[in-house]
């Protein structure tokens, strides 16, 4: 089925799927930075960095503002709580399945001991 709207969760996970973009978010957690300084720090072209920043902006993870001729980047207001909830629900699901598997293995070990 074709989707015309991308849910925010998809945007966040797509943005954070790239190691460079995760690095940008980490860097901006320590303070604002210009796109030029980010490009230098990550050893990439200005155009490449702009594309990464645009992906992060669409997800709400980064905001940019123009100050004179410089475009400054800062962390956005996205708190990632929905993403954390989704990850936690998956963690609980997998934990329950691994617990069930452990129970089966323990049962099999007990049966072998009883033979």
Integer Cα distance of 85 and 50 in angstroms:
30
Taking 80 as the threshold, does the pLDDT of residue 1 lie above it?
A: no
Q: Sheet harboring 62-67: ordered strands across? A: 33-34, 70-75, 62-67
Residue 6: the pLDDT is 64
Nearest residue to 11 (alpha-carbon basis) of 80, 59, 77 = 59
Residue 2: the pLDDT is 52
pLDDT per residue over 15-37, tens digit each?
A: 999 999 999 999 999 999 999 99
Q: What is the pTM of this model?
A: 0.77
Mean pLDDT of 85-109: 91
The SS3 assignment for 64 reads strand
Taking 70 as the threshold, does the pLDDT of residue 62 lie above it?
A: yes
């Amino acid at each position: 089925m074709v989707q015309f709207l991308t849910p925010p969760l998809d945007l966040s996970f797509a943005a954070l799927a790239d190691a460079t973009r995760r690095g940008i978010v980490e860097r901006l957690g320590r303070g604002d930075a210009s796109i030029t300084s980010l490009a230098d720090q990550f050893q990439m072209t200005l155009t490449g960095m702009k594309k990464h920043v645009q992906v992060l902006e669409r997800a709400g993870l980064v905001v940019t503002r123009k100050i004179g001729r410089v475009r400054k980047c800062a962390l956005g207001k996205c708190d990632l709580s929905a993403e954390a909830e989704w990850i936690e629900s998956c963690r609980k699901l997998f934990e329950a399945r691994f617990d069930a598997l452990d129970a089966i293995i323990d049962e099999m070990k007990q049966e072998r001991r009883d033979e």
